[in-house]
Amino acid sequence: MHDLFRRYGMGLTYTFVGLTAFWLLVLVILPDFKLLEASFRPYLPIVDVGGPKDTYSFNNYMQIFGNEVDFNSFGLHFEIPARIKVFVLTIFYSAVVTLVTFLLAYPLCFYLAKVASNRSLPTLFLLLFVPLWVSEVLRSFAWYIILTLKGPLNAFLMAIGAIEKEIRWVEGYSPVVITLVYAYVLFMVFPLYNAMQSLDNNQLEAAEDLGAPWWKIHWRIVLPHSKPGIASGAVMVFMLSAGSLLVPAIINSTTGNWFTQTIQGIMMEGQDWNAGAAFAFMLLLFCTVAVTVAMRVFRVKLSDIAK
Amino acid sequence: MSAGIDLDNICCDFGKFRAVDHVNVNIQPGEFFSFLGPSGCGKTTILRMISGFTDPTEGMIRIGGKDVKGQRPNQRPTALIFQNLALFPLMPIWENIAFGLEVRGVDKVTRRKKAEELLALVDLHDSADKMVSQLSGGQKQRVAIARALAVEPAVMLLDEPLSALDLKLRQHMRAELRAIQKRTGVTFIYITHDQGEALAMSDRVGVMSQGRLQQVSNPRDIYNNPVNGFVASFVGENNILTGDIGTRADGMASFATKLGTFRARIADGVTKGKLYVRPEFMSLQAKPGAENSVPVTLTEVAFEGNFISVHAVTEGGFDMVAELRNDGTGTVPQAGTKMHMAFDARSAAILPDSDTAGA
């Protein structure tokens, strides 16, 4: 603070700090806090708000139970409340999206950071960026077109003789997973690229000189070094995927509901902001728990991610 | 097990730039061989070609008599110590040292045991479980050596490994490296731009300039009998006089300069050159000598302890330097006095400039 005063003077410093505080407090914390408070109150007609029925309870949160449906995948079969099923599958497929983005990004980043010549880097990065200039809505629709039954993907696969009959791609969770991977892969690429880029080339050469085959170099040197980048990329992709509404809303099949769609239905169609808020906080809480557990398992510290 | 290395007419081009230019040298098994030269002279490229990270454009490299063309670094019996050491910061010391064994599928108990043996060899007991960041510069150095020795290489390649250390530690590590080399009998190929390091440690030194090997010889010859001006200047200080070669006889020649005519050693085939004589071979006399002496006025006398550095200027305004041994009698010449600087004809040499591609 003292340094800021000296460098920018009193007026500017207070303006900066004041604006930041306003943004954080009024635009981020207060609305969230209002929603959190609302999530414990019942959804009432306007006349009853503030009346004797307006009491705090966990009733909104309990709405996730009830309405039992069959769970019948991964060789498992049991009864489960419909919303919990969607919730669990959303978390699971967000993790799948995260894993797939990592598998795609790892070789790409290694190529960019350690193999590609400095001269070709700007071009390669431009090629990565260009799709971002197109809006996410259009990109999602593009995938919808690619994946439709009579779409280009099936036409191509049939033309080269890989399949005999069209495959129904837009079914279950695969279209959402494919499109989310496409939408968020760059959030994995950049932190991972940064991490790999900071690896000293001599480390790779030293490992090779000591006799290590290529996979051992990756397993023992590149992967451990990249861990903070992987962690920060994974957290971003996972959180963005689990919280994405646009992509599942555009491309989803009837058999692949995303939990954000459930929340949206309750809030917008049911007009029940209280229950919607409760569900949204459950999603946030569970994602945070999932990330924390994953960080424990992979022994990543929060300070690594912040780098 | 140590192996010799033959560099057979190797060249290495980077685009149009020729980094290494027809280098020929046979390094004996168990030899401590240094490549000495300024930065950019191609010495690191030679090292990278031996270890397999760079391919020679022309020529052949044999390790232990076998052509290693096409072998990757992980297939060659060499171990490279990098200038920045390239220790693995995320592994404890013992895993660093045992990394080469780990990739060879040696079991963990044996690895640990071997790592501890090597730590003892380099005088680093009780550091097995420390992390790299907990060690000092000199300790890291030893870990790098131990890690390279762990794979039992036939040849150790060292790329200026002491350059990051401070002077005192550097001198200590010189002796240490030499001792480890003697103990293990492994061929050491050492890259350095520090002539003191090269001369003090090596069995033989190869002096390089602009990709070409100027001279390969033992340290005494490199210093006392350099083959050209580049080698003479790179390994030490000189008084350099320009002039013309006159009559020659028995490996000596007269040399006519503006300061008078001198006599000095000359090699056969040298037709053009300058006269080089090192400051410590100069002496100061009150009277002109029979030959090779110049009247001078002393301009600066610095008492350095073990020697006295004397700067002087000739009548024509030419600077001369002499280093006189402190003989303990306490006689130190005074600046401003007029004296004669002289040298023995056998300690001076007429040398051509250097062996470059154009010459």
DSSP for B119-188, written as a single string: HHHTT-TT-TTSBGGGS-HHHHHHHHHHHHHHT--SEEEEESTTTTS-HHHHHHHHHHHHHHHHHH--EE
Q: Report, as an integer, the average pLDDT of B302-306.
A: 87
Instruction: Assess if residue A56 is contained within a domain.
Output: no
Q: Specify the pLDDT at position B121.
A: 83
Model confidence at A307, in pLDDT bands (50, 70, 90)? low
- In tens, the pLDDT along B6-26 reads 999 999 999 889 999 999 999
Instruction: Assess if residue A269 is contained within a domain.
Output: yes
Chain B 60-99, residues with CB within 8 Å of chain A CB atoms = 72-75, 78-80, 82, 84, 86-88, 90-91, 99
| Cβ A189 vs Cβ A109: under 8 Å | yes
- In tens, the pLDDT along B237-274 reads 999 999 889 888 888 999 988 888 899 999 888 888 89
Q: Is B85 a residue whose pLDDT tops 70?
A: yes
Q: Is B331 a residue whose pLDDT tops 60?
A: yes
Q: Is B117 a residue whose pLDDT tops 80?
A: yes
Q: Report, as an integer, the average pLDDT of B97-117.
A: 93
- Mean pLDDT for chain B overall: 89
Label residues B317-331 b or e (16+ Cβ within 10 Å = b).
ebebbbbbeeeeeee
Q: Which residues of B touch A207 (CB under 8 A)?
A: 88, 99, 103
- In tens, the pLDDT along A84-137 reads 888 888 999 999 999 999 999 999 999 999 998 889 999 999 998 888 888 888
Residue of B nearest to A224 (CA): B90
Collapsed DSSP state (helix, strand, coil) of residue B195: helix
Taking the C-alpha atoms of residue A24 and residue B311, their distance in angstroms, rounded to an integer, is 72
Q: Is B61 a residue whose pLDDT tops 80?
A: yes
Instruction: Assess if residue A104 is contained within a domain.
Output: yes
Q: Specify the pLDDT at position B138.
A: 85
Instruction: Assess if residue A17 is contained within a domain.
Output: no
Best mutation target among B44, B53, B68, B90 (most A Cβ atoms within 10 Å) is B90
Q: Does B175 touch chain A (CB under 8 A)?
A: no
Domain ranges of chain B: 5-232, 237-351
Taking the C-alpha atoms of residue B19 and residue B44, their distance in angstroms, rounded to an integer, is 10
Torsion angle in degrees (nearest 10) through CA of B117, B122, B126, B127: -110
- In tens, the pLDDT along A12-33 reads 888 988 999 999 999 989 998 9
Smallest Cβ distance to A212: which of B91, B103, B147? B103
Model confidence at B359, in pLDDT bands (50, 70, 90)? very low
Q: Is A147 a residue whose pLDDT tops 60?
A: yes
- In tens, the pLDDT along B197-252 reads 999 999 999 999 999 999 999 999 999 999 999 999 999 899 999 988 988 888 89
- The residue ranking higher by pLDDT, A103 or A286, is A103
> Could you give the count of Cα atoms lying within 13 Å of B301 in the half-sphere of its Cβ?
16
Please report, for the domain that includes residue A138, its CATH number. 1.10.3720.10
In total, chain B counts a number of residues equal to 359
Smallest Cβ distance to A209: which of B79, B84, B102? B79
Q: Is B358 a residue whose pLDDT tops 50?
A: no
**Assigned architecture for domain B237-351:** Beta Barrel (2.40)
Percent of chain B with pLDDT over 90: 53
Taking the C-alpha atoms of residue A232 and residue A238, their distance in angstroms, rounded to an integer, is 10
Record: contact B90-A225, CB cut-off 8 A? yes
Collapsed DSSP state (helix, strand, coil) of residue B24: strand
Q: Is B45 a residue whose pLDDT tops 90?
A: yes
Query: Which amino acid is located at B232 in the chain?
Result: A
Instruction: Assess if residue A29 is contained within a domain.
Output: no
Q: Which of A64-73, A290-299, B174-183 has the lowest mean pLDDT?
A: A64-73
Expressed as residue numbers, the domain containing A107 is 67-306
- Mean pLDDT for chain A overall: 87
Q: Is A2 a residue whose pLDDT tops 80?
A: no
Q: Report, as an integer, the average pLDDT of A190-206.
A: 93
Record: contact A212-B99, CB cut-off 8 A? yes
What total number of domains does chain A contain? 1
One of 3.40.50.300, 3.40.50.1820, 2.60.40.1170, 3.30.565.10 is the CATH number of B5-232, namely 3.40.50.300
